Structure 1
Amino acid sequence: MTPEQDPLDSLFDPRSVAVVGASANPEKWGYWLASGALAGRGRRAVHLVNRRGGALDGVPFLPDLGALPSAPEQVVVAVPPPQVRAVVAEGLAAGARCFTVITSGGADAEAEQALASLIRGHGARLLGPNCMGVVDTTSDLRLSWGDFPAGQFGLVSQSGNLALEIGRLLARAGQGFSRFVSLGNQRDIDATDALLALVRHEPTRVIAAYVEDFRDGRRLGRALAAAHAAGKPVLLLTVGGSAASGRAAASHTGALVSARATVAAVCRDAGAVLLDTAGEVVDVAACLLAARGRAASHPAAGNRAAGAARVGAAAPPRRAAADTGPSHPPASRPRTAILADSGGQGALAADACAARGLDVPPFSAATAATVAAHLPPGAGCANPVDLAGAGEADLATYAQLTRALLTSGEADAVILTGYFGDYATANPAQAARETEVARELADAATASGRLLLVHTMARDTPALAVLRQRGVPVYERIEQAATALSGLARVRTAQLRPPLPTPPPSPHRAPDGDYETTRDLLCSYGLTFPAAEFVHTADEAAAAALRVGYPLALKAMGLAHKTEAGGVALGLADESALRGAFARMTAATGAHRYAVEAMATPPYAVELIAGVRRDPAFGPVLMAGIGGVRAELLADTALALAPLTPDHARDLLLSLRHAPLLTGWRGAPPVDLDAAAAALCALARAAAEHPELTDIEINPLLVHPGGAVALDAAAVLGQSSLRAPRLRAQCVEHQPDDQE
């Protein structure tokens, strides 16, 4: 491969293609693959193989790959599963460099892995098995079922039918595909490989992906960040929104970290946009393509967009503990101007925008006066603008007001919502004039360099066709327009934080996940716990209390949720209270081991929960949130891949809904955010260096103006973990006025 060649050129732009299993029957896959391949024969050699003979479009079917006049660079395999391996072996012998296997590659996963190993062993690549093929409209390669309109949209998908749905929606929106890759079972070429190929592909401007199996999730996260850095953000669809796995019984962390929440965190930190439906993908893609077009035609707008995309690229300076501001400037919400045919539509549009994080600010007196000059007396001149029939009286009003709002300097985008585009339906005589105004609207958007979105009750009319052709997104429902604009805002305000390298495993393995050994482990990473001793009897507890000091806490060991089980007693002031609590706790829990621990009651403290759960695809995932006994009730959490930087940890805390509790609520002093962030980083590194732990959790982590102290901890050990000597570390009693 020369330096200029793409590693997947054999997949997307092969010099020759052979379709094995070609058919002349339009009802069969072999027909679509063969006819699609023949559509590109002006660019490459195309060979059709079917041992039964026949022909398609004047091209005869050859009996096998050995009968080809030259080596095929890519072989498309559409034969019954039992024949796949033989066809692949034949193709390798003929010199093929890439195989797209439509059918299943074997009876089970092991057989498919063996097929992939065979192909890779010869230096070739495999797409599939069990995939729908590949399309590259820029290289005239169409090796799939269905129609794929040409455009600038690249798609990677594990679902073939979803790709067909997206194709229909793209065509309706006046958009199309640059490339489509059906991943199938990902035995070799996976989602990350395909995404990186789309990043390298200049004609692809927007990328979408539907992924169920993330394989190496951290590698995928780095690919998402690379796409964003290249100006090609990824719109991601996935599954996994269900609640926690069975580990929820062992830790709060398991209940608060779902698969989808992990993917959402990776997308946030990689500049990708996680969406819910195929329709949302197309809506946001149309908006992104329009914004890119505006930036290309108006350099000033392009510079603004590029500047927004670079927010957070440089690490901010570290702040003092008393500084309660965020560690980066808060992402400004895009200012949206709404121009509506009625007050009701304008109000609903404003609500839809606000619900999606967009700002609909009031206009200045000057802009309101400019708007009023085009409207009848009494019309709404604020934001949203109520046309109050002015558009019906003169269609030119739509263009005049849209231009005024786009150039006002008070809006980053304008949404025109209502009836425009449908006048010709009711009155064909207005078709020419409405189409002319549509051109004026597009001209205004292009000249301003700002984004115009149109929501209309019409569907396919001449005026809407003009808007789509000129790169103005058109939507049938106002929530589509608001979602699209919100997706664009998320892309432009993203702060890239690709996954940090995972540190090598520690040579000291955790022997178990009980409180004593977990706190020993965490103390060795710099976390602070109150002084404690571990006992078995009431007499041992009384003796330990003299050394620890009253008041103190008594905790029963071996319980997943101590409070609910009656396994925690706090504020015990003397030996009598301690012995009474010990007796009650023994009767309630049957525990055989207890912790006698000093009380930590610093003023103005806030309880957090912090945990790390090991995800099979993404590795250790840190969760931080509002903690204590209300952790699962409030479910106010933020996630990030572990390990992470202190600035990232700080920003996670500030992203919580209850973050004002940390920054000074109702006159309380702010907590030490730097100490809280350092505690999160220490926990994250401990988990990353101890892969034998599937979960590790601190609840609560008490953060206060003087620092942070962990009051309880637990871990879940994986089944394959090995026993090792316990880690011991000195844990000192926490004092309220300490400055850790």
Structure 2
Amino acid sequence: MPSLDALFTPRSVAVVGASRDPRKLGHVLLRNLLEYGYTGQVAVVHPAEPELLGVAASRRLTELAAPPELVLVSVPGDRVLGVVREAAAAGARALVVLASGFGETGEAGQAAELELRAVARSSGMRLVGPNCMGVYNSHRCLNGSYFWDLPRIPGGISFVSQSGAYGGLLFEEARRRRFGVAKFLSLGNQVDLTHAEVVAYLAEDVETTVVALFIEGVPDGPALRAAVQRTAARKPVVVLKAGRTPAGRRASRSHTGALAGDAEVFRALLTQAGAVVPRETEEFFDLCLALASYPTGIPGPEGLALLTISGGPCVIASDACEELGLGVPPLREETRARVRALIPPFGASGNPVDMTPQMEPERFGACVDAVLGDEAITGALAINVGLDEPEFAQAFVEARRRSGKPILACVAAVPQIQQVFEAQGIPIFPSPERAARAYAALVRYARARLACAPAPEPADAARTPRRSRLLASRGREPRVLDEVQAKALLAEYGVAVVAERAAPTADQAVEAAAALGFPVAVKALRPGLLHKSDRGGVWLDVPDAPGVRSACGAIRERFGPEVGFVVQAMARGRVELILGGRRDPSFGPVVLAGLGGIHAEVYRDVALRPAPLNAGQARAMLRELSAAKLLGAYRGSPPLNETALVEQIVRVGELLVANPEVRELDVNPLIAGPDGCVAVDAVVLLEDETAQGAAAAPRGHGGEKALEMAEA
């Protein structure tokens, strides 16, 4: 991607907005560029100054002797558009707008961003920002950012952050823990260049061994997912997502909306693409550090050794390993005999191995070699608090070299040991729990790399979904289908639904029940009436006509005289599932399947995939459920009809793709058995025109408009 070479490895850089005043950010920007040793051509543009910081200044970009490859813009927001136009006219290939005051301020700022994008794309110039902190490349001594006094430790971790301030946290963490940074880019408002394009570039970058992303909003979820999937096949991708609050869940009235909120969709789809998705900043940096040392992860959890010089931290590590599912197996008797011969008599020779502070330093090497030579051991945690013997660290370095087995360390108050581990690329963590969590994450990552899903197959041309006739014939209101309408929509796409009849009156309900055959289910029927079972609106196994009349009377007493009824044949099956979908503002239509019924939101055992999906992907959803064993033969019961379940999942995906006004869709429960499955209850929420437009907006983030639904 040559256009991003101009951003990360430019042969010439022009600074617009530099200042002689050291308090001004423009001064900081130029000073950083010069002081970090950038060897390319540097130009300064200033309307009045003849030179700044020893660099001759030109009045305009178009007056430079040659077009600059990269332009850094640090001027007030109202001057930015003019500078961008001038940069395009001068032939610049990339431009970073560090100024703020654009889309984050409201409609006027968003309109200005559209103009910036139009200029950049019409000229072929790539634009970063606005509202960002700049670009950094340690291997090329390029500091085109507002960050000063950065740690100069070249490394393999490249960070791409939507937040500029988060970059400051990154560099402080790098300084404190002494890990190397390859590249840093603050994307800001992503008017032109997005995470997806930068990830694709870094996939090919030989200086980058780990790609780390901090994301707030996602303008193009499918593009990001595709870029992550291609990159994760070659190198680790670690993604931290901000904005995990339940605001979107509070706006959802369906089970699907509650189970598949924005954060759940993001985590599921990026994890399926091969990314590592931590939940917090501490874990984010820990995993970046661990993956920089072990970019393919650690295969197999069954053989972790814990070696320490004191018992307390090792007990904590043991507890953490057990909670994380990491195997800490006992050593073979031959290994224990070798260890006992080396450690003091009051040490521990099992696993954990406590070498004690009284261990003779020259024996550390033989002891660690013995443990890592055990066939049951596949890796180790080195734990040391307060005994600063360099021989301790060197023992692990040499044992790793000889055995090829991975080692992570938890050390504190031992500067000499820390220096050895850092120099040899053994990642260090400040607590036993964090070291164990990082090891477990490396194990999961190695497993995920092997199971990383292939790119989605194209939809079968014979199954290209058409627009729903039912939805095409509807007016604008109401925006919530009643249960009968929802099932009619599902039936259009081949989803099996229970036999039922709508009945406006109790007499008609009795007639419907007689026609369907007793026993029956009687439910309240009214648009916008959701979660009926929680509110006394569902009567099951009604045995006869008097029972139907009684159920209808109770329902009207609860919901009022205007409520109608739906009478259904009783469906029989072995397992209650949930099948649904929602239109995610970043990733588009997403299908959900999992354990259902009235406790669906308690179990939270669901799988997610983007729509459309094929049979193989639907089958994979079922198999990744924690309750997957319930779908097979169980305690003498025959297995569920997996083929029928897969077909229903695929068809819900087709429905979502064909009908963009469907905001959320719930089939709960979908009753499944050996002979097939049937939708017993359904909810469909429709988007209004305003919300549809917002969902399609290029920025792709912000609040989702809640539907107004009358439940009273």
Scaled to the shorter chain, the TM-score interval is 0.7 to 0.9
Matched, 1:13 2:9: yes
Once the two structures are superposed, the pairs formed by residues 122-141 of structure 1 within 5 Å of their partners are 122-141=123-142
Runs of 5+ in structure 2 lacking a partner?
103-107, 475-479, 692-712
Once the two structures are superposed, the pairs formed by residues 118-197 of structure 1 within 5 Å of their partners are 118-146=119-147, 147-149=150-152, 150-197=154-201
**Residue number in structure 1 paired with 2:418:** 464
**Residue number in structure 1 paired with 2:544:** 574
2:304–2:327 contact (8 Å) kept in structure 1: yes
**Residue number in structure 2 paired with 1:714:** 683
Q: Deviations over 1:373-407 (max 9, x none)?
A: 323446433322232x2x53312343322222223
Separation in structure 2 between the aligned mates of residue 676 and residue 248 of structure 1, nearest angstrom:
29
Matched, 1:65 2:33: no
Once the two structures are superposed, the pairs formed by residues 23-38 of structure 1 within 5 Å of their partners are 23-38=19-34
Separation in structure 2 between the aligned mates of residue 562 and residue 266 of structure 1, nearest angstrom:
31
**Residue number in structure 2 paired with 1:685:** 654
- Among 316, 321, 336, the residue aligned to 1:353: 321
Q: Following TM superposition, by how much is the alpha carbon of 1:108 offset from its aligned partner in structure 2, in angstroms?
A: 0.8
Distance 1:160 1:290, change over 3 A: same
Q: Following TM superposition, by how much is the alpha carbon of 1:105 offset from its aligned partner in structure 2, in angstroms?
A: 6.4
Q: Following TM superposition, by how much is the alpha carbon of 1:41 offset from its aligned partner in structure 2, in angstroms?
A: 7.0
Separation in structure 2 between the aligned mates of residue 357 and residue 666 of structure 1, nearest angstrom:
27
Q: Secondary structure at the match of 1:500?
A: coil
Once the two structures are superposed, the pairs formed by residues 467-486 of structure 1 within 5 Å of their partners are 467-486=421-440
**Residue number in structure 2 paired with 1:727:** none
Q: Deviations over 1:292-348 (max 9, x none)?
A: 4xxxxxxxxx7x96xx6xxxxxxxxxxxxxxxxxxxxxxx53531111223332221
Once the two structures are superposed, the pairs formed by residues 204-353 of structure 1 within 5 Å of their partners are 204-230=208-234, 232-243=235-246, 245=248, 250-292=253-295, 332-333=300-301, 335-353=303-321
Separation in structure 1 between the aligned mates of residue 465 and residue 112 of structure 2, nearest angstrom:
33
Q: Following TM superposition, by how much is the alpha carbon of 1:199 offset from its aligned partner in structure 2, in angstroms?
A: 1.0
Separation in structure 1 between the aligned mates of residue 614 and residue 304 of structure 2, nearest angstrom:
34
**Residue number in structure 1 paired with 2:109:** 108
2:456–2:613 contact (8 Å) kept in structure 1: yes
Q: Following TM superposition, by how much is the alpha carbon of 1:27 offset from its aligned partner in structure 2, in angstroms?
A: 2.8
Q: Deviations over 1:583-635 (max 9, x none)?
A: 22122123533221111123xx1212221111110112222232211222333
Matched, 1:703 2:672: yes
Q: Secondary structure at the match of 1:273?
A: coil
Q: Secondary structure at the match of 1:143?
A: strand
**Residue number in structure 1 paired with 2:468:** 508
Matched, 1:537 2:477: no
Q: Secondary structure at the match of 1:151?
A: strand
Separation in structure 2 between the aligned mates of residue 43 and residue 505 of structure 1, nearest angstrom:
57
Q: Following TM superposition, by how much is the alpha carbon of 1:505 offset from its aligned partner in structure 2, in angstroms?
A: 6.1
Moved more, 129-138 or 495-504: 495-504
Q: Following TM superposition, by how much is the alpha carbon of 1:219 offset from its aligned partner in structure 2, in angstroms?
A: 1.1
**Residue number in structure 1 paired with 2:406:** 451
Q: Following TM superposition, by how much is the alpha carbon of 1:538 offset from its aligned partner in structure 2, in angstroms?
A: 2.0
Moved more, 698-707 or 110-119: 698-707
Distance 1:498 1:348, change over 3 A: same
- Among 346, 349, 374, the residue aligned to 1:408: 374
TM-score by length of 2: 0.88
One-letter amino acid matched to 2:548: L
TM-score by length of 1: 0.85
Quick one: percent identity of the two aligned structures?
A: 35
Separation in structure 1 between the aligned mates of residue 339 and residue 611 of structure 2, nearest angstrom:
52
Separation in structure 2 between the aligned mates of residue 201 and residue 217 of structure 1, nearest angstrom:
23
**Residue number in structure 2 paired with 1:589:** 559
Distance 1:42 1:547, change over 3 A: closer
Runs of 5+ in structure 1 lacking a partner?
293-301, 309-331, 425-433, 723-740
Q: Secondary structure at the match of 1:698?
A: strand
Distance 1:505 1:247, change over 3 A: farther
2:362–2:391 contact (8 Å) kept in structure 1: no
Q: Deviations over 1:397-440 (max 9, x none)?
A: 43322222223232222001133xx434xxxxxxxxx3244233
Moved more, 502-511 or 269-278: 502-511
Q: Secondary structure at the match of 2:140?
A: coil
- Among 403, 408, 423, the residue aligned to 2:387: 423
Q: Following TM superposition, by how much is the alpha carbon of 1:674 offset from its aligned partner in structure 2, in angstroms?
A: 4.1
One-letter amino acid matched to 2:143: R
Separation in structure 2 between the aligned mates of residue 482 and residue 606 of structure 1, nearest angstrom:
37
Separation in structure 2 between the aligned mates of residue 488 and residue 660 of structure 1, nearest angstrom:
27
Distance 1:454 1:23, change over 3 A: same
Separation in structure 1 between the aligned mates of residue 639 and residue 532 of structure 2, nearest angstrom:
30
- Among 606, 619, 625, the residue aligned to 1:637: 606
Separation in structure 2 between the aligned mates of residue 641 and residue 396 of structure 1, nearest angstrom:
57
Q: Secondary structure at the match of 2:20?
A: coil
2:305–2:351 contact (8 Å) kept in structure 1: yes
Q: CA RMSD in A?
A: 2.5
Moved more, 523-532 or 157-166: 523-532
2:302–2:329 contact (8 Å) kept in structure 1: no
Q: Secondary structure at the match of 1:175?
A: coil
Q: Deviations over 1:510-566 (max 9, x none)?
A: 346222232223233332222112221222222222221111111212221111222
2:497–2:679 contact (8 Å) kept in structure 1: yes
Q: Deviations over 1:10-63 (max 9, x none)?
A: 211222111011123333221232123335776421101222316444223333
Moved more, 516-525 or 576-585: 516-525
Separation in structure 1 between the aligned mates of residue 251 and residue 518 of structure 2, nearest angstrom:
34
1:555–1:594 contact (8 Å) kept in structure 2: yes
**Residue number in structure 1 paired with 2:698:** none
Q: Secondary structure at the match of 2:621?
A: helix
Distance 1:396 1:688, change over 3 A: farther
**Residue number in structure 1 paired with 2:708:** none
2:501–2:568 contact (8 Å) kept in structure 1: yes
Equivalent pairs, count: 666
2:639–2:674 contact (8 Å) kept in structure 1: yes
Matched, 1:497 2:485: no
**Residue number in structure 1 paired with 2:702:** none
One-letter amino acid matched to 2:109: D
Q: Deviations over 1:621-650 (max 9, x none)?
A: 222232211222333333332333444434
**Residue number in structure 2 paired with 1:398:** 364
One-letter amino acid matched to 2:264: A
